[in-house]
C-alpha cells in the first residue's frame, strides 16, 4: 500500500508540469534545459543512491527518459496540457507490448483488451484534439510529439522495472539507486541536448526562474524520490496505471491557470483511457488481494 501511495504522490507532482510550463515565458528548449539541470541536481541531492553505479544499463534507460522528458516539454508548448497528458497516458498500451520482450512478463487477455481500448482512446484524441489556443498554437504537431513521449515513457517505465530486477541483492528488486540514477542521467542528457538550442539564455522574469526551479526541484526531483522508491515494489504495468493520477489532475491545473478546455472528442478519448486504466488497476488489485 505504501508503494502505491508513493506512486500517487509522484503522479500529483508530475501533474503540475503542463500548467507550469505554459506559465513560463522561456522557450521550450530553455525550459527543457534549465528544468533538467535543476532536476538532476535535486535528484542527486535528495537520493544519495543515485550518485553511484552509472552503468551502461542506467545510461540506456536514461536515454529513454531523456526522450520522454524532452518530447513532453515540446508537446506542452504546442498543444493543450490535457492532450499532452492524455496521450502520454496511453503508455500502458506500449508497456503491454514491451513487457513480454524486455521483462518476460506474461501478457493476459485482459491486457490485450486494455490495448484495444487505449488504442481507441488514442484515435479519439488525435481526431478531436486539434483546437487551437494561445497556449496551444500547433496542436497537430504537439499531439504527435506527445504520442512519441508516451512511447518513450513506456520504455522508461519498463526500463525502471528492468533495473530494479537487476539492482537488488540476488535480483530482488529492492535497490532504487539505479532507477534514480537513470533519472539523473536522463536529465543530464536532456540538458546537454537542449543547451545549444537554449543559448543565448534570455534574462527572463523572476517568475520564469521560479517556475523552472519549481519544475526541477518539486515537479521532477521530489516526484522521483517517491517514484524511485515505489517502482521497485510494483509491477511495470500496475505502476504505469497508478501514475494515471497525473492525467486526471493535469487538465484541471491547466484549466484553472490558463482556461484551456479540450474539445468534446478529446474529452471522450481521455475519459476512455482513464476509465479503462482505472478499471484495469482495480481488477488487478482485487486479484492480488484474493
Residue 95 has a pLDDT of: 81
Residue 274 has a pLDDT of: 77
Structural domain range at position 204:
2-289
Separation of alpha carbons 20 and 124, rounded Å: 26
Residue 30 has a pLDDT of: 93
Residue 174 has a pLDDT of: 53
Low-confidence ranges of the chain (pLDDT < 50): 168-172, 289
pTM over 0.85: no
Q: Which residues contact 265 (CB under 8 A, 6 or more apart)?
A: 124, 125, 127, 128, 129
Number of domains in the chain: 1
Separation of alpha carbons 88 and 81, rounded Å: 11
Q: Which of 226, 216, 167 is nearest to 12 (CA)?
A: 226
What the block records as the C-alpha cell of 54 is: 552509472
The answer to whether 242 and 234 are in contact (CB under 8 A) is yes
Q: Which of 244, 243, 232, 104 is nearest to 179 (CA)?
A: 232
Q: What is the pLDDT of residues 93-145, one digit of tens each?
A: 788 778 777 777 777 777 778 778 878 877 877 776 566 777 788 888 998 99
Local structure of residue 79 (DSSP, 8 states) = S
Residue 125 has a pLDDT of: 72
Amino acid at each position: 500500500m505504501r508503494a502505491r501511495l508513493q506512486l500517487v504522490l509522484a503522479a500529483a507532482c508530475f501533474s503540475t508540469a503542463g500548467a507550469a510550463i505554459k506559465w513560463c515565458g522561456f522557450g521550450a528548449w530553455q525550459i527543457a534545459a534549465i528544468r533538467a539541470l535543476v532536476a538532476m541536481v535535486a535528484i542527486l541531492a535528495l537520493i544519495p543512491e543515485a550518485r553511484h553505479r552509472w552503468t551502461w544499463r542506467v545510461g540506456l534507460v536514461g536515454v529513454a527518459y531523456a526522450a520522454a522528458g524532452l518530447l513532453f516539454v515540446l508537446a506542452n508548448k504546442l498543444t493543450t496540457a490535457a492532450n499532452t497528458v492524455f496521450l502520454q497516458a496511453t503508455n500502458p498500451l506500449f508497456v503491454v507490448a514491451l513487457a513480454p520482450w524486455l521483462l518476460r512478463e506474461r501478457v493476459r487477455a485482459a491486457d490485450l483488451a486494455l490495448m484495444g481500448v487505449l488504442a481507441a482512446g488514442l484515435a479519439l484524441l488525435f481526431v478531436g484534439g486539434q483546437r487551437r489556443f494561445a497556449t496551444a498554437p500547433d496542436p497537430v504537431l504537439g499531439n504527435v510529439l506527445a504520442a512519441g513521449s508516451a512511447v518513450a515513457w513506456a520504455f522508461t517505465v519498463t526500463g525502471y522495472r528492468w533495473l530494479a530486477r537487476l539492482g537488488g541483492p540476488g535480483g530482488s528488486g529492492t535497490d532504487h539507486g539505479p532507477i534514480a540514477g537513470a533519472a539523473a542521467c536522463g536529465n543530464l542528457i536532456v540538458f546537454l541536448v537542449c543547451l545549444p538550442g537554449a543559448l543565448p539564455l534570455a534574462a527572463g522574469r523572476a517568475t520564469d526562474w521560479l517556475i523552472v526551479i519549481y519544475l526541477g526541484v518539486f515537479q521532477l526531483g521530489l516526484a522521483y524520490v517517491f517514484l524511485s522508491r515505489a517502482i521497485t515494489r510494483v509491477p511495470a504495468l500496475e505502476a504505469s496505471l497508478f501514475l494515471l493520477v497525473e492525467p486526471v489532475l493535469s487538465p484541471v491545473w491547466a484549466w484553472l491557470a490558463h482556461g484551456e478546455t479540450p474539445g468534446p472528442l478529446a474529452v471522450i478519448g481521455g475519459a476512455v483511457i482513464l476509465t479503462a486504466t482505472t478499471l484495469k488497476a482495480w481488477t488487478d488489485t482485487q486479484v492480488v488481494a484474493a
